[in-house]
Amino acid sequence: MKILVCAATVMEITPFLNEYNTLLPAASIDVLITGIGLTATTYNLTKYLSLKKPDLIIQAGVGGCFDNKLKLGSVLAIKQETIADESVIELKSLKTLFDLKLVPQNRFPYTKGWLINPDSRLLKKTKLKVVKGISVNEITTSKQKVDFYRKAFNPVVESMEGAALHYICLMEKVTFLQIRSISNYIGERNKTKWNMKESIVNLNNELLRLLHLLK
């Protein structure tokens, strides 16, 4: 199996990078650092896929969490994504491009406005909690936006790259998996309350476990 592991930054997958050559033959795993954000991820992942077509793409990263009941450091699998800030706040509510009828909500690769990973078997195989995610171009700090996103999408995880993975892989018909560890709760800007270190350790442990499982 040919696998691509991608992440926005080297920092997020450094423990994996120190070990991955021992997992499978070197030719079986590629690594791509896409850069932060939807634009960089879209460009670099699309460029990679113009040269190679792996059997599976795994995106691994940290993210913020809307659910304060989930422990920081938890690792989750993302079932579905959408771009939350492709929207407008109008009459005290958030309206998406789909709400505004600018884009049909079931035009491929969207299903009811979501970019859904269709491989339920793979998601189940991870044995991780499966949740919804949203992607944004601006990290959410505003309480008003938090409330709008909760009401409109009921997400668990926020990232800046997840929707790009889902969109591209659905369009290119490539099997994919997004895993995220929770480094902070949404809206919390006091970084002393974040748990980046444990989040990265847990993320990489799960990534390595999954690769052992899939080899």
Six token digits for residue 165: 């993975």
Phi, then psi, of 119 in degrees rounded to 5: -90, 80
Q: In 3-state terms, what secondary structure has residue 182?
A: strand
Residue 24: the pLDDT is 61
Task: Provide the pLDDT for residue 127.
Answer: 96
Cis bond before residue 15 (omega within 30° of 0): no
What is the predicted pLDDT for the residue at 4?
A: 96
pLDDT along the chain (215 residues), means of 10: 95 92 72 97 98 97 96 97 88 83 93 97 96 91 86 95 98 98 86 88 96 82
Place of tokens 């920081």: 72
Give the sign of the dihedral formed by CA 90, CA 154, CA 78, CA 105: negative
pTM of the entire predicted model: 0.93
Measured CA to CA, the distance from residue 29 to residue 41 in angstroms comes to 19
Domain housing 68:
3-214
Q: What is the DSSP letter of 78?
A: E
Return the SS3 of 162.
helix
- Tokens 């896929």, located at residue: 49
Structural domain count, the chain:
1
CATH code of residue 192: 3.40.50.1580
